[in-house]
Structure 1
């Protein structure tokens, strides 16, 4: 009851702060937020959704991507093409309330929103929820979208129970290399000087207020040179990766580079789908195709 009251107060505060701005529409099937408590005393909101038959054999875990909007606005429709007999757990970042949808995230959020923290939070969440399952899962699936992709991949190297991974809108480059590639191909505004920005990010790494390219300097300093390749190559379970051919945030060269690395290391567990007429956010049709492939993998496992 106390948690529900807190959510209602947060929603009221948002309305007061935003005046006549309307909240984004919620699905009639939008799940109720629950509170997960971390070992260090912190907490985050998560959502639980059931798919398929009452008798479950699959657990699916996903994590919020860039910014501080709640996953609630994406649920359950984002994953509607999943046909497995599964329970899906969707985890918000710390300091993101049930109805948050704006990018004015607050200093507490910015301090906590760093790669190693998010990785450990996700690992703790997956382990705790897996231990609580009322069924013994045949499949444990991780789904990472955009910024969350590298967090998911890193976490997967420490979660031996994982059987499948789905990545959307990400590849094998560091963020720095992706930005430079986008600029070289005229997909990034020429005003963004990557080298100059790198110096500024390094010099002002502790800044919580100053932003560059839509995100706090503090965030950029943490994530700019995270290299996912070694983690990808450590993983032996099937990885399904879907990207839009017109993605202005993730260069296709990054995906090709990832495929090249798998070939060089004689690894055959990466399946890539490139969707024409799609950008960074895959269309419902493209997602349905990718999740249909996941459905086939789960049935055949």
Structure 2
């Protein structure tokens, strides 16, 4: 394991650069390459798992608030961001690498609370099942894999686009798929997409769809809650999502954020941060 103060890798811009510069950047090694982790704060450990084609920066609007109360641990998932790809594209392999890294980073502070967004929520569930010693509770945000109908939304093709045309296509796709409020597809959101998406080395869809999460929900050994954006277009209709979950498990929390889209913690950070802190303050059931 190696530890350093992050020196501002990646894109410029005050929010990103400031947060990245304040991180404790850690790498954990495996036979298949390094995983890159970033840590902030000093408190009980809280693991944040980003979504598909993302990186730690999916949580850019949440880390500061959460790190006032927790040691926030935000990895680039295997095959995403700066982390090396897994030897096999299997959820079980990915969570084994994460658990190995957690045991190295914070062996005396396990298990940890885990918050997972979208694809990261599916990974969080597999982590709780396959590596149960490292997970205390799950909070999942707008997860796929529940065998519910996907939304219908237009996507602009990126092939051959450069410069401002490419930026505006990314913005349009964020507005169509990820964010309910068009104004939240701001320059920072576009910059993050342009940085993160090309670095993803995973074929994510088979790891999630159609029902990779639904099938394993009854096996989760820890308390689990969901947060869902009311206007999520990727996985629409929170009531339908809750019904799918209820078809296989009875005991779970489900909270809807009004007017929020899929990337809920970026679009509605104040509401999500407050809800996360409230949920995390509750005793985890044994």
Once the two structures are overlaid, the 10-residue window that deviates more, 156-165 or 88-97, is: 88-97
What does 1:1-301 correspond to in 2, within 5 Å? 11=10, 25-26=15-16, 28-30=18-20, 31-38=23-30, 40-52=31-43, 58-67=44-53, 69-72=54-57, 74-75=59-60, 77-82=61-66, 86-94=70-78, 96-97=80-81, 116=90, 119-130=92-103, 132-133=105-106, 135-137=108-110, 140-161=112-133, 162-170=135-143, 173-174=146-147, 177-179=148-150, 182-183=151-152, 188-189=153-154, 218-221=203-206, 223-252=208-237, 253-262=240-249, 267-268=250-251, 270-282=252-264, 283-298=268-283
Cα pair 1:169 1:243 within 8 Å, conserved: yes
CA apart distance, 1:131? 5.1
Cα pair 2:228 2:255 within 8 Å, conserved: yes
Tell me the alpha carbon deviations over residues 113-135 of structure 1, each in whole angstroms, 9 at most, x when there is no partner. Answer: 9751x542333323442355364
Distance 1:273 1:61 in 2: 20
Question: If the length of structure 1 is used for normalisation, what is the TM-score?
Answer: 0.63
Tell me the alpha carbon deviations over residues 227-246 of structure 1, each in whole angstroms, 9 at most, x when there is no partner. Answer: 21231111132112100111
Tell me the alpha carbon deviations over residues 203-242 of structure 1, each in whole angstroms, 9 at most, x when there is no partner. Answer: xxxxxxxxxxxx9995445543342123111113211210
CA apart distance, 1:286? 2.3
Cα pair 1:44 1:93 within 8 Å, conserved: yes
Question: If the length of structure 2 is used for normalisation, what is the TM-score?
Answer: 0.66
Q: How many residues align?
A: 234
Rate the CA distance shift 1:300–1:260 in 2: closer, same or farther, 3 A.
closer
Rate the CA distance shift 1:149–1:83 in 2: closer, same or farther, 3 A.
same
CA apart distance, 1:168? 0.6
Q: Which runs of 5+ in 1 are unaligned?
A: 15-21, 53-57, 101-107, 192-214
Q: Which runs of 5+ in 2 are unaligned?
A: 157-199
Rate the CA distance shift 1:280–1:170 in 2: closer, same or farther, 3 A.
same
Cα pair 2:55 2:76 within 8 Å, conserved: yes
Tell me the alpha carbon deviations over residues 150-176 of structure 1, each in whole angstroms, 9 at most, x when there is no partner. Answer: 1111221112222210101125623xx
Bigger Rg, which one: 1
Rate the CA distance shift 1:141–1:123 in 2: closer, same or farther, 3 A.
farther
Task: Report the 3-state secondary structure (helix = DSSP H, G, I; strand = E; otherwise coil) of the residue aligned with 1:121.
Answer: helix
Distance 1:132 1:73 in 2: 21
RMSD: 3.9
Distance 1:136 1:216 in 2: 31
Cα pair 2:51 2:117 within 8 Å, conserved: yes
Distance 1:298 1:34 in 2: 30
